[in-house]
Amino acid sequence: MPKTDWDFNEFKKNFYQQTGLNLECYKDQQMERRIRHLIGREKCEGFYDFYTRLIKDSNFMHRFMNYITINTSGFFRDVKVYEELQNEVLPQLNRKFKGLQVWSAGCSNGEEPYTIAIILAELGALRRSHILATDFDDKALANAADGVYNFRQLDKVPPRILEEYFDQLGNGDYRIKDKYKKNITFRKQNLLDLNIKDMKKMQLILCRNVFIYFKTSVQEEIISKFTELLEPGGYFVIGCAEYINDPQNFNLTRKSPAIYQKLD
């Protein structure tokens, strides 16, 4: 096929060879529509022209990866979910297990794992817990490890929490205090090529607003791996717009709209 005549399938094949991100796992119509919209917005002539620009311009590649992997997050995002985590889920896990292993999958810029760290600190459980925070986006992971946020990103953080857990910088931004970073490991990971063989068992896994964009078969494969890693009685948290069909097939029971528990 001439390069100037690339269709979406040719683009997906070459993009996977270049980046390791398999767009075949995403819902085709939705993903193609989003990429075509971006091609038009960036005034590219077609898929090949768009691909060439991605390869030549690392900043453009980063913006594109950020665009398709949906790096949206926030501190205490979805208040009801975090209230349930703080008031019920994490206290229960803290009573049941001597130390907690938590995985924030698709952690974006770090708001989610830091929110969990703050809740664990409030419960007096952070020092005996560990949080694994993973994402595919290198720049997002760098931002997360830095732990610097502006006031808009912190709009749902109560003033007491902001004062106790963050240092205010000279430019008005805030940085999470180092002592609350110590129990978090940030790591690059591709959920579409997930190997759990050497991973520790988890008591809590969060993967929110990520797999809603994947094909059903891919969603089921990822959920199976997550639940395999979960300890019996552990919890799996998804986005409020996401839903697991037939959770019993994964040995899960639905506790609330976004929170599932692994059966004993």
Q: Please identify every stretch of the chain with a pLDDT value under 70, giving residue numbers as ranges.
A: 1-4, 25, 69-73
Burial of 245 (0-12, 13-18, 19+ CB in 10 A): exposed
State both tokens at 59. 């900043």
Residues 52 and 118 in one domain: no
pLDDT recorded at residue 96: 94
Residues 17 and 125 in one domain: no
pLDDT recorded at residue 263: 95
- Give residues with Cβ within 8 angstroms of 99, minimum separation 6: 128, 129, 130
Domain span at residue 134 reads: 79-262
CA 124 vs CA 25, 110, 128, 167: distances in Å: 40, 21, 9, 21
101 in Cβ contact with 203 (< 8 Å)? yes
Residues 89 and 50 in one domain: no
- Give me the number of domains the chain comprises: 2
In a domain, 14, yes or no: yes
Residue type, 251: N
In a domain, 73, yes or no: no
Supply the pTM of this predicted model.
0.80
Measured distance CA(168)–CA(148) in Å, rounded = 9
* pLDDT tens track for 32-88: 988 998 999 999 989 999 999 999 998 898 788 777 765 556 788 778 899 999 999
Among the candidates 41, 68, 95, a domain finishes at: 68
